[in-house]
Amino acid sequence: MKISKYLVIAALLAGTISAQGAQIYFRGGIDADYTKVGNWLSNDFATVSAYVPGLDDIAEIHSGVILVTPVISSSAPDVGTLHIGSNSPEGSLIVVDGGSIDAGTLRVGQAAIGTLTMTGGLVEGALLNVGYNGGTGIVDMSGNSILHYNQVDFTLGASGVVNMEDNAKFRVSSISGAAADALIDNGNILAANAGAGKFIEWNWIPTGGYVEYTVIPEPATLGMVALLGGGLLWIRRRSKV
């Protein structure tokens, strides 16, 4: 009876262990779709993974394995940890309109060069490292992309940077006003392709409970918008006469 009991316990433990996550590597054996099962390899670098990385897994994207840069264009499964560029020369991930992922811990540039390019979509989670363990992290945001994390950590100097343009929004929940200013002052958050007077500002959004960084156009652009708006108003008023 005791032996049977121990066998049952052993079987349960084995099932628990096998259910635990592992490191899974993006290969792109079929195409660039991040959400496609056949594009991922198990940690032996040879066996095709039976699933896309999930909450208990570490998703690895780096040049030592990859055939094509992965793209997220739809809702991807939540993942526990996502490394973009990890202990290899480099790694990149692209997120476009309609794409979204909740990556609990996201490290862009872990002991390597990592690049996250967002032309749209949503990336969110608990902890964002931009440059980690001596790596260089680059996040390029444009379009209507949204990056939202509870905590962020940048490496010192130019090793970690978020470049923003268009209507991109970078949101951070756990940050003080002084720390929010410091990310701009230290050059960690920049206005991409900045013209004269183009800059980054942040605002506290009480309904969401986060600081939101956005790009403010240069004065010339604002003037053109105001002039255009005034012209449209004049045309509209005149049409009523």
Mean pLDDT, the chain, rounded, equals 84
Q: Is the pLDDT of residue 232 over 50?
A: no
Residue 21 lies in a domain: no
First to last CA, the chain: 97
Q: What's the pLDDT score for residue 88?
A: 84
Residue 2 lies in a domain: no
Residue 200 lies in a domain: yes
Residue 123 lies in a domain: yes
Residue, of 126 and 193, whose pLDDT is higher:
126
Structural domain harbouring 74: 58-240
Burial of 28: CB neighbours in 10 Å, binned 0-12, 13-18, 19+: buried
Per-residue buried b or exposed e for 29-41, using 16+ beta carbons within 10 Å of the residue's own CB: eeebbbbeeebbb
- What is the rounded distance in angstroms from the CA atom of residue 52 to the CA atom of residue 119? 23
DSSP state letters, 39-95: GEE-TTSSSBPSS---TT-EEEE-TTT-SS--EE-SBPPPEEEEEEEESSSEEEEEE
Q: What's the pLDDT score for residue 21?
A: 65
Q: What is the pLDDT of residues 34-65, one digit of tens each?
A: 999 999 999 999 999 999 999 999 999 998 89
Residue 15 lies in a domain: no
For 9, 29, 62, 132, the CA distances from 137, given in Å and listed in that order, are 45, 26, 13, 8
Residue 25 lies in a domain: no
Residue 68 lies in a domain: yes
Q: Is the pLDDT of residue 228 over 90?
A: no
Indicate the range of 15-29, 95-109, 203-217, 224-238 predicted with least confidence: 224-238
What domain count does the chain have? 1
Place of tokens 């095709």: 48
Q: What's the pLDDT score for residue 2?
A: 39
Q: Is the pLDDT of residue 168 over 70?
A: yes
**Reported pTM:** 0.82
Q: Is the pLDDT of residue 241 over 60?
A: no
Q: What's the pLDDT score for residue 156?
A: 54
| Residue 192: band (very low, low, confident or very high) from pLDDT cuts 50, 70, 90 | confident
Please compute the mean of the pLDDT values over residues 207-216 and round it to a whole number: 96
Please compute the mean of the pLDDT values over residues 123-131 and round it to a whole number: 97
